[in-house]
Chain A
Amino acid sequence: MADSLVQIRQLTKHYVRGKQSVEVLHGIDLDIPRGDFVALMGPSGSGKTTLLNLIGGLDTPTAGSVSVDGKRIDQYGGAELARWRAEHVGFVFQFYNLLPVLSAQKNVELPLLLSKMGSAERARRAQVALTLVGLADRAGHKPSELSGGQEQRVAIARALVTDPTLLVCDEPTGDLDRKTADEILGLLQVLNREHGKTIIMVTHDPKAAEYASRTVHLDKGQLVDAAPAH
């Protein structure tokens, strides 16, 4: 594929649990074009989150390669990978993972502490990101003062604030009711369609997958098929 943002070749991942070695992914090949919105689906233990972690540079493969934007991230060392994540990937988790001691504004500013930006610029960017997710008026609130949907919006703002190439979402609506989940998924769709963000989302929920451009199914660590775009 000519404009593949993510290229995965013969990707294999083993984990050692106690004395046992567990092979989670077996020789996966996958291309994700720039600007795509991909839903990764599959039963529990199929390797969805492992694949997502490898694409997001949170883990390193046992064999095979992962290239993002032409860079072989599987060859990066720990510090280099951390730097790459800071500049190129935004993460959204099922349980939001906001820092409870910080306000929404400061949670969103957090990734910018790694840049050379001044504090005023950091604050301005965080405000823009919060506005984008519709939470500008809750900037001073701590996570404990926000609803689940609002917390996830703050998490999305935190993922967006560095203007990453790739947005990686692990069950972003898994902890939300249907209505709030639809709002969050609608927001992701807007980010994909209007702001051109490439999004890879792990989900169990077929309704959530409908918001994606295409769905990739995994089973027992292997790709099963790729559903057409919606």
Chain B
Amino acid sequence: MTKTGFILANLFHKKTRTWLTLLSVVMAFVLFGLLQSLNLVFSASPDFIGATRLVTQSRVSFTQSLPMRMVPEMDAIPGVQRVMYQQWFGAVYRENPQIFAFAVDPERLHEVYPEWVMPEEHWNAFRGTRTGMIAGRLLADQYGWKVGDKIPLQSNIFPQKNGSKDWTFDLVGIYDGKDAQWQQQTAGGMYINHAYFAEATQFGGGNAGIFVLRLEDPDMAESVAMTVDKRYENSADETKTQTEKDFQVGFLKQLGDIGLIVRWILFAVFFTLLLVVGNTMAQSVRERVPQFAVLKTLGFSDNSVLGFVLAETVALCAIGGLLGLSLATLLGAGISKAAGPMMPVAVDGRVWLSGVIAIVVLSLVVGLLPALRARRLKIVDALAGR
């Protein structure tokens, strides 16, 4: 028998209770890993490294459109290869509002997003058909759309000049993603021709929600972003230029202060965990008072007994915590793969480090009081059941 074996044997002296507590710790650390990695995404500073595209939006909010006159001005900024503009259409199909439909210039879309793959004749058809639209493969498959179909859509924002919010488009192409990750993003996406939208809509035709700037050189990302924002500083249309990833994060931030929400959830999870593990350890020590007295009788010092109880708590929190973080790592990789590069929910080294710190702090907080109680036991009183 070793001291480690002795500690583990004592830890599992009430197997069911220990397993249930362990399960709570595992679940808490799965949540911790995922939420902490999300928190890191939301609290990260802007990172321009490796960005091949930038997104420019109104400085106030992306819901406020920018005028189209900016397009040639941005095209002319050194380092910008091509600018694409897109307007959120607010499409609803068969009461499904989860369709990401944008009014775009087909030519510019093709140049700025080479990740969308479609036969050239379909691109040509999109360029040449005023009422044309293209849809992502997975979206088309979901509704059984085929090239040549007429697709009736409603816009929950833009009425046509005749006042109707019903629009009809000709499906002229179905695009795929260049790889599996991009292919997944074809599930909710479609594009309509901006020229037709601008001509038919009752308002907003001369505007675009965002501009996407394809860069000549990723190393110029930061300087291009600064140049663009500087150019429109103190104008009626101040801009905010950032990477696609930061734009995506900003989009989600519109829902609320995600970081604060995450921190409160984590606080609630750990407070509950503190009570659960603390209660388990306190109960476990209370049940074993005579056993600790025997250990002391045999010659184990007060500090050794304190060490045994603390080691049990550390073992419980460490086994549960490390298992939980491992599970979170696997789940995070799965989520990240599904969500694509815009939402990298990666349980990385930073999350693990904060997880290990949380394990240590949790162990000490919940283990110290029961351990001190075991340390303070007087042998004769404990053996006499006092």
Contact = CB atoms under 8 A, between A and B. Distances in A.
Contact of B290 (A58, A84, A97, A101): A97
Interface stretch (A106-114, A202-210, A216-224): A106-114
SS class of chain A's interface: helix, strand, loop or mixed?
helix
B294 interface: yes
B298 to A, nearest CB: 5
B383 interface: yes
Contacts of B298: 85-86, 91, 110-111, 114, 158
A186 interface: no
A31 interface: no
Contact of B12 (A83, A101, A106): A101
A110 B12 CA distance: 18
Size category, B interface: 20 to 34
Size category, A interface: 20 to 34
Interface in A67-89: 78-79, 82-87
Interface stretch (B2-10, B116-124, B131-139): B2-10
B302 A78 contact: yes
A99 interface: yes
B308 to A, nearest CB: 10
Interface in B1-52: 1-3, 6, 9-10, 12-13
Interface string A141-156: 0000000000000000
B23 to A, nearest CB: 21
A99 B291 contact: yes
SS class of chain B's interface: helix, strand, loop or mixed?
helix
A182 interface: no
Contacts of B380: 50, 53, 58-59
A79 B299 contact: no
B12 A58 contact: no
A131 interface: no
A82 B13 contact: no
A197 interface: no
Interface of A: 50, 53, 56, 58-59, 78-79, 82-87, 91, 93, 97, 99-102, 105-106, 109-111, 113-114, 119, 122-123, 158
